[in-house]
Each structure stands twice: as structure tokens, then as C-alpha cells.
Amino acid sequence: MDYFPLFINLKNKPCLVVGAGEIAARKIELLAKAGADITVIAPEISPQVSQLKNTYDLNIIQRSFTAEDIHRQRLIISATNQKNINKLVTTTAEEHNIPVNVVDNPSLCSFIVPAIIDRSPIVAAISSGGASPVLTRLLRAKIESLIPPAFGRLAQLAEKYRGLVKEHINPPSERRIFWEKTLQGSIAELFYSGKETEAEARLKSAILNTSDTHQVIGEVYLVGAGPGDPDLLTFRALRLMQQADVVVYDRLVSPEILDLVRRDAEKIYVGKQKNNHSLPQESINELLARLALAGKRVVRLKGGDPFIFGRGGEEIETLVQHNINFQVVPGITAASGCATYSGIPLTHRDHAQSCTFITGHLKDNIVNLNYQQLVAPNQTIVIYMGLTGLDNICASFIQYGASPKLPIALIQQGTTQSQRVIIGTLQTMPDLIKNQDIQPPTLIIIGSVVALHDKLKWFHPEDKCTYE
């Protein structure tokens, strides 16, 4: 270990920053967050530092650094590009046993500034000992994605009730178990979802009734898994997936996303596809309620977004009937994800000022849609689950007045490495796909924006594109 990790109390303590450029401004903001009394010395003051003067009540001295400037300082940071000044700062600081950091010059430092994850009062610091600052920032970004913004306020709540927990729960080992369950369970999730008053009330009740044997009710998280690419998951989705006891998922959830679920979680497949439902929707609703009533934390993992053709509202209604806590985590819907990965903007000033999402389910071998509205110009139409009825859709658009040459795109398994884009027109598309081995899920986009695909495409999984 090249450096001993240490947290220093700098509240109201005099600290010196030598230099007043962009980098110095970043260091000033860090020191200010710690409550330091900051003096800045530099012959030239950048606009960034000038803007910080009133915000943090900085003492700015506009001249070059001298050895006398270190008196009474508790900590010094030098952020200049002048080697002689940096060397003088370090030499003078060491003579007076004052911790000193020279930005991007480890050999002149007695301490280094780590990458910081600030969820005060919880603070984490990551360092490579100056070997690779970029690598430490990348690691910080990964950890940041796992720690909710409300984590610090949750810590303050725990601090508030530490005494009460100690009074009611003995021995210490049981207190540890109590806190582990509390800070990873339903009370914490209530807090993260903004129900802080309810979370505090339930925490207090749990402390005062620790000897009760009443049934523990779990909760359900409806999580949008997005269109397929794991990188499109939200931070909240990933966190809940990694703490779930049970994951109920459908066929639109890619294997790569399912691999991110907690390893020991029970996984229940309820895949739904045309004419082949492993479980009817009503049974899925009751399954979620039954698992939660058994005390499980349940993730209902749904492709795309739970509230866009995902039947999430129906599942929530059942949970409400059973008085079960739930969260809904939005996902990137297929329309947005597949269009973006295909280089097809859904709206564009020169092509479309509106966008309509519809479902293309067949009923009595026809697709019952308001074609008179859909063929209006200057709009984009996105059709979910429309592959089976595609011939009918194209013919109906033409019948109701759309140009046979209106561009149309069929996107297969969008955002994944199996993505394939077939570009045609309303007239040519049925023949284009007739002998193609199309693998669902698919999405259909109709509108002149499709013509922008060639110019704007950027995602190239082996360039699987077919044209008329």
C-alpha cells in the first residue's frame, strides 16, 4: 500500500490553493464541499475561479506564491503548470510538515486526491496511487451506478435511530442482522422511491416490535429491461435486479440482461408470445402477489418499458388489491431503442413533427387501426408486434391514401448483436420479407424519417441491412 487512506476534517480550517485555472477551480470545489476556509494565490485568476469567489467566500490574492504564504495552512494544493512554483510549494510545505498535493505530479505530493463518491455522510474514495487517474474515475463511475442518490439520507436516518435500536435489540449480533435487513430491504426501497416519511414510520415500528412474529410482506419491482442491449438498463433497474429474491421474466428479456440478475435469485419464466403463453396474464398477476405475500422481493422483468404495451398497469392493479408495495422502473421502449440504433430519428424537423406508437396484433386476420389518422403526412408510425400482419398493414396504408413509395423499416432484435434492418417501401416490403428468416422481436417504422437510415446509421453488427 503506497498511500495510507485517511479522511481529514477540514471544516473551517485554512487551506491554500496555488493557481487559479480550470483544474484549480475543481480542487476549490472539493475543498469547499468539505467546509474548508480557502485562500487562492495566483498572478492571474480564471473566470471559473472568479465565479467561485462569492459562492464559497474565497480569499483571493492575485500575485505569485511566496514561501511566507504557507503559514497557518492545514493543507496545500498546487495546481499550476510552473515547475519552479510547484517545487517551491512542496519544499516549503514539507519544511513545515503541512500536507501538500501537486496536481498530476505524484513525486511532489505528500498526499493524493482520490476519486470521490459522495453520499454524505457516506463517502468513499478510490485511488491508484497516481498510477492511473483515468482508471480510478472509471471505477468510481461503476460504483456510482450501484449507489442510489438517497444513500446518504438513508445513513442519516440510520444514525437517528441507532440509540433506539441499541435500547431494544440485544445482543450486538442481532443488531447487525436487523440493520442488514433494514438497509437492504423494503424500508430502504421506500426511502429510495421518495416515501421517506413512510420509511421512517416503518423503521420505528420495526424497532419497537422486534419480538413480533407477524408476517413479513415483500414487494414487487416492475422493471423495464429495455430493448435488449444491457448497457441501456437504468442504474435503478440494475440495483433492484441484483437484490431480488425472485425474478419473473418474459421472452423479450435478453440472456445478457438476465445474466446481471443476482446469481442465487430464483428465476421464473412466464414467456409470452403469439398463441403460446406459458402463463396467462391473470396468473402472472396472482403469481407476483403470492410471492410478495410470502415475503419475497420480486422483480418483474419486462422487455422495453412496463407501461408501453407491457401490461404493467394490470399487474399493479392486482398488487394494489393485496396492499403490496411496488415500484415501477421505466425502461427504454423498443421504439426509441431500435430506432436510435438503426439511425432513424422518430421525429425530425424536415420529416415528422409527431410520432404514434401502436400495436399490430391481428384480430380476425385483420389489423384494426385508424388508418385515416395514420396516413396523415409529417408523422412517424411505430408498430409493435406487427410482423404477422405486415402485409395487411402495408396494403391498408396504401388503400387509405399513403404513397406506395412511403419508406418503411423492419427492425429485427434491435440494439443487440443480432440486429437486422430491412428497408423498403409500403409497396415492396411484403415481397422483401417473404423469403426472409425473420427472428422476433421485431419493430416496424413507417414514415419519411426511414430515408435517413443510410446517412445516420452508426450501429453496425456485421452490417445486417437489406434494401429494396
Active site residues: 250, 272
* Amino acid found at 171: P
Is-contact 90 77, C-beta < 8 A?
A: no
Asked whether the beta carbons of 70 and 99 are under 8 A apart, the reply is no
- Taking a C-beta distance cutoff of 8 angstroms, is the pair 120, 159 a contact? no
Cell 429485427 sits on residue: 412
Query: Percentage helix, strand, coil, to 5, in the chain?
Result: 40, 20, 40
CB 394 within 8 A of CB 429: yes
H helix or E strand, kind and range, residue 319? helix 312-321
Q: What is the DSSP string of 392-450?
A: HHHHHHHHTT--TT-EEEEEESTTSTT-EEEEEETTTHHHHHHT----S-EEEEESGGG
Question: How many whole angstroms from its chain centre is CA 297?
Answer: 20
98 vs 78: CA distance, rounded Å: 13
Give how far the C-alpha of residue 175 lies from the chain's centroid of Cα atoms, to the nearest Å: 32
Q: Which three cell numbers stand for residue 213?
A: 412474529
Residue with cell 439520507: 153
Distance CA 99, CA 106 (A): 13
Cis peptide before 171 (omega within 30 of 0): yes
The Cα angle at residue 221 between residues 218 and 224, in degrees rounded to 5 = 165
CB 247 within 8 A of CB 267: yes
Question: 3-class secondary structure for 208-271?
Answer: HCCCCCCCCCCEEEEEECECCCHHHCCHHHHHHHCCCCEEEECCCCCHHHHCCCCCCCEEEECC
Look at residues 463, 408, 407, 410 and name the one whose alpha carbon lies nearest to residue 438: 410
Q: Are 334 and 385 in contact (CB under 8 A)?
A: no
Task: Give residue for cell 452508426.
Answer: 458
Q: Decide: 3 and 129 in contact? Cβ < 8 Å.
A: yes
